[in-house]
Amino acid sequence: MIRFHQWIVATLVVAVFVCIAAPLLASETKGTIASVQPDRNEFVLTECFKDLKFLLAPDAKVLINGQGSKLADVRAGDAATVVFERQGQLLLAMVVRVSRKENGPAQSDMTPALALPRWETRVAAGTSK
């Protein structure tokens, strides 16, 4: 009977510890950077059609393609993974990992005529020959 009582007490202690520690553990989310305000240490991440507004922690790390960086270097449209802690309604970002493709032209640098066959390019340009 004494061992059974000790087992119940030990189980309750573990349960209380898990309930207290679970909210303190950091969470992680992935999405696309919607906007950045480096002067306010804030950024917005779009995750599954939902915008999440984060405040960058004072000791937070910002990594772009694995290299140390700062929030001002993060751009809208970058893919990002954010490790954060929830403090009430506030989402406090501890680590921001940005994946940016540096190779190749940006989408805005490409013209639609580059993808068209030769005869369609002339028609698009207004010439018939």
Ordered by start, the domain boundaries in the chain are: 26-99
Predicted pLDDT of residue 82: 95
Distances in Å between the Cα of 13 and the Cα atoms of 7, 9, 36, 109, 119 are: 10, 6, 43, 61, 76
Domain 26-99: assigned CATH number = 2.40.50.320
Distances in Å between the Cα of 51 and the Cα atoms of 32, 33, 68, 116, 120 are: 9, 9, 25, 36, 40
Range 101-129 average pLDDT: 51
CA pair distance 47, 66, nearest whole angstrom: 21
Range 56-72 average pLDDT: 93
If one compares 91 and 25, the residue with the highest pLDDT of the two is: 91
Choice among 59-63, 77-81, 124-128 with the minimum mean pLDDT: 124-128
* Residue 20 CA neighbour count, 13 Å, CB half: 6
Confidence class for position 102, pLDDT limits 50, 70, 90? confident
The phi and psi torsions of 21 (rounded to 5 degrees) equal: -80, -25
Predicted pLDDT of residue 46: 94
65, 44 contact by CB (below 8 A): no
CA pair distance 93, 61, nearest whole angstrom: 9
The phi and psi torsions of 58 (rounded to 5 degrees) equal: -60, -35
pLDDT at residue 79 is higher than 70: yes
